[in-house]
Amino acid sequence: MTSARATAYSRLGPTADEICEQVERILASEEFHAAKRGRSFLEFVVNETLAGRSEFLKAFTIANVVFGREASFDPQNDPVVRIEAGRIRKALERYYLVAGRSDSVIVTVPKGGYVPHFEYATSAPAPLPVKQSERALPPQHESREKPVSGSTHPVRLTLLHLGACVAALLVLFAAVLAFLLPARPNAQAATASPKVMVELFAEADRDDTRSDIARGLRDDVIGQLARSRGIVVVADTLRDDSIAGADFTLQGNVQLDGNRLRAAVRLVRQQDGAVIWANNFDANLGVQNKLAVQGQIAQQIAGAIAEPFNAEGMAPTAQRGDQSTYACTLAYYSYRQNVTATSHSVARNCLQNATQRYQDNATSWAQLSMIYLDEIRFRYKLGTPASPDALRMASNAVNRAAVLAPSSPRTLQALMMVSFFRGDVDRALQAGTAAYAANPDDVEVAGEYGIRLAMSGKWQTGCELLSIALNRGIGSKGYYEAGMALCQLMRGDVADAEQWSRKSDLEANPMHHLVLLSILGAAGKTDEARQETDWLTLHAPGLMRNIDGEISLRLQRPEDRERFFSGLRAAGVDPAAIPSQ
C-alpha cells in the first residue's frame, strides 16, 4: 500500500524507494551485526511505518508478529522487545560508523519507542546501487523493479508489509461448492494431502511487462502455497503425468490496460473440470511497484486456497467424513471472503448436511455455529429475519464441537463468538485467549479475537491484534477495515477513522454505514452525514429502528456506546428518539 505517510517521505525526506534500498543495503552488509530475530524486527518496523501503521508499533504487536509470543504477553514482565530494539540501535550505529559512512539515507530507531526514523545524511553523496551479488532475491526476480512501499527481499518473505492494498471481490461459483467433491476411490487416496498444480499463467500478448508479471506472479503463488502444511503444490512441468497426479489445477491470466492490472485466477477440479473457486485481482501499477503487486496478489490467492486445506479436521478419514467435507470447508471460506446471502446459504446447507452425515467432525460443527451466528451479526447484510433461533442453533452447534474437540482453535473461536453475542463476555475472552494461544498464525482467529477484545473495552490490545490480522490481507472485504475505523473513533482520531471506514464494504453492509455516520457526526461533516442517513433510511430501515439494540449487542461498555451515540446525535440521529421495532 502506498499510504499517506509513505507519500510524505518523498516530500519531507527520503522516498519509500530510497528507504527500501537503504534497508536492503544494511541487511546485505557484513558489517550489520544482528541476529535473524533482530533483522526481522527491523524489517517489520520499517514496513509498518511505510504502510502508515506506525501507531501500532507497540511491544505487544512486535512480540506477537516478530517473536511469536502468545496473547498473554506482558511487556512489563518480558523485556524481549526492548532488549532487541537496543541491539538494533547498536547494530545500526556500528554499520554507519564502518560500512555506511557514505550512505545518503540514515535509518535509526530512536529511544523511547519502536518507530524508525529516516533522514538524508548531511552532504552525503547519492547512495550506491546495491550489487546484484548482494541481493537476496531469488534469481528469477533479479530483473524486476524494486518495490516502493517497503518490499525489500526479506520483507517479501514475511508478507506483512503487503497489507490489504487491494481488496479483491471474490467471484463465487457458489452452487458448485455444495458437496461437489466426490469420495476418493480408496482409503489410501482419501488420507493423502490434496495436490494443487499451478499452471503457467497466460498473457494475452508478448508484452514484456505482462509476461514478467505473469511469470513472477505464478512463482510467488507457488512459493506461498509451498509453505502450506495441508496441501502439496505441483509446478506445471508440461508433462501429462503431472496433470494426472493433481487433484486441482490453478489457472490464471494477466491483463494490462495502461497502468491497470487484472489477474484472473480460478481453481479447477481435475476429475471433471468443475470450477470451484475463481477471483479477479485488480491493482494500479502507477501506485504500486510490480513486486509489491505480485506479492500482495499471490498472498491473497494462496490464502484463499490454502486456508481451507489447513483447517483443523479437514483431512477426510473413515471417522470424519469423505471429500464432501472439503467442499463444505471451501464453501465456508469462500463465504468468509465474500459475505452474501447466496454464499451464506450454500455454506449453511453444505455444513448442515455434513454434520448430519459425519457427526464427529468438530470443525464442521464449529463452522456451522458461526454460520448460524452470522444470521444475527450480519443480518442486515444477509437479509435474514430477527429470530432467537439463530443464537440457539449456534449455541447447540458449538456445544457439539466442544464435546468433540474442546481445544481446537476453530471450536474455541466459535465458542468466543457465540458467548460474546450471548452477553457472556468473560467466557468469550477466555475462549478467544485460548484460541489465539493455540494458533496465533490463524488470521481469522486473530482478527475476531482482536475485535472482541476491542469491543469489550480493551481497545489498545484488541486494535493491535486487529492490525496484525489486517496486515496479512486475508478475510472478508472491508471487515477488518471497519474494525479499524471503530478503533480510531474510540481513540478520538476521527480523520483516520473516516479513512478506514471508507475502505470498508460500505456498498453492502448497513452496519458499516452506521459506523461511518457516527464518524461523520463526530467530524462535524453534516452534509455527508445527511447522505448516510438517507441511505440507511432507504436501505436499512430495520437497523435505523434498532440502533440502540445493535450497538449494545457489540459495544460492551457504556462509555463506548455513549461515544458512538454522541457521533450519531451530532449527525442528527438520536437513537433514544427512534421508536424501537
The reply to whether 251 and 277 lie within a common domain is: yes
pLDDT higher than threshold 70 for residue 184: no
The reply to whether 93 and 181 lie within a common domain is: no
State the angle between helix axes of 558-570 and 479-491 in degrees (0 to 180), rounded to the nearest 10: 90
Nearest Cα neighbor of 164 from 447, 441, 381, 367 is 447
At 92, the pLDDT band (50, 70, 90 cuts) reads: very high
3-state secondary structure of 524: coil
The reply to whether 266 and 128 lie within a common domain is: no
Task: Output the nine-digit C-alpha cell for 293.
Answer: 503487486
Last-in-domain residue among 287, 310, 333: 310
Does residue 339 lie in a domain region?
Answer: no
Last-in-domain residue among 106, 139, 162: 162
Amino acid at 452: R
The reply to whether 17 and 153 lie within a common domain is: yes
Q: Which of 34-38, 139-143, 305-309, 505-509 has the lowest mean pLDDT?
A: 139-143
Mean pLDDT, rounded, of the chain: 78
Place of cell 450471548: 422
The reply to whether 187 and 227 lie within a common domain is: yes
- Tell me the pairing of strands 248-257 and 275-284: unpaired
Q: Cα separation of 18 and 14, whole Å?
A: 6
- Tell me the pairing of strands 248-257 and 202-203: parallel
Q: Cα separation of 54 and 6, whole Å?
A: 11
Strand-pairing partners, residue 552, are none
The whole domain housing 191 covers: 170-310
Does residue 409 lie in a domain region?
Answer: no
Asked if 34 and 91 touch (Cβ cutoff 8 Å), the reply is: yes
The reply to whether 42 and 97 lie within a common domain is: yes
CA distances from 170 to 280, 305, 376, 477 (A): 7, 12, 23, 9
pLDDT at position 69: 74
The reply to whether 147 and 177 lie within a common domain is: no
pLDDT at position 4: 32
pLDDT digits (tens, 9 = 90+) for 225-284: 887 666 788 766 545 554 557 888 889 888 888 888 888 888 887 877 777 677 778 888
Does residue 398 lie in a domain region?
Answer: no
Does residue 536 lie in a domain region?
Answer: yes
Does residue 289 lie in a domain region?
Answer: yes
pLDDT digits (tens, 9 = 90+) for 428-441: 999 998 888 887 76
The reply to whether 185 and 303 lie within a common domain is: yes
Average pLDDT over residues 384-396: 91
The reply to whether 77 and 27 lie within a common domain is: yes
Does residue 9 lie in a domain region?
Answer: yes
Task: Output the nine-digit C-alpha cell for 397.
Answer: 452447534
pLDDT digits (tens, 9 = 90+) for 492-509: 999 999 999 999 888 789
Last-in-domain residue among 162, 185, 216: 162
CA distances from 66 to 3, 36, 318, 377, 466 (A): 22, 10, 39, 33, 16
CA distances from 477 to 74, 296, 372, 502 (A): 32, 15, 20, 12
The reply to whether 249 and 300 lie within a common domain is: yes
Indicate the number of domains in the chain: 3
Q: Which residues contact 23 (CB under 8 A, 6 or more apart)?
A: 42, 43, 46, 107, 152
The reply to whether 263 and 212 lie within a common domain is: yes
pLDDT at position 404: 94
Nearest Cα neighbor of 264 from 288, 240, 248, 282 is 282
pLDDT digits (tens, 9 = 90+) for 221-242: 888 888 766 678 876 654 555 4
pLDDT higher than threshold 60 for residue 581: no
Report the share of the chain in percent with pLDDT over 70: 75
pLDDT higher than threshold 80 for residue 321: no
Does residue 378 lie in a domain region?
Answer: no
State phi, psi for 241 to the nearest 5 degrees. Answer: -70, -30
pLDDT higher than threshold 50 for residue 135: no
Q: Which residues contact 170 (CB under 8 A, 6 or more apart)?
A: 279, 304, 334, 337, 338, 477
CA distances from 94 to 90, 100, 324 (A): 6, 9, 59
Does residue 403 lie in a domain region?
Answer: no
The reply to whether 120 and 199 lie within a common domain is: no
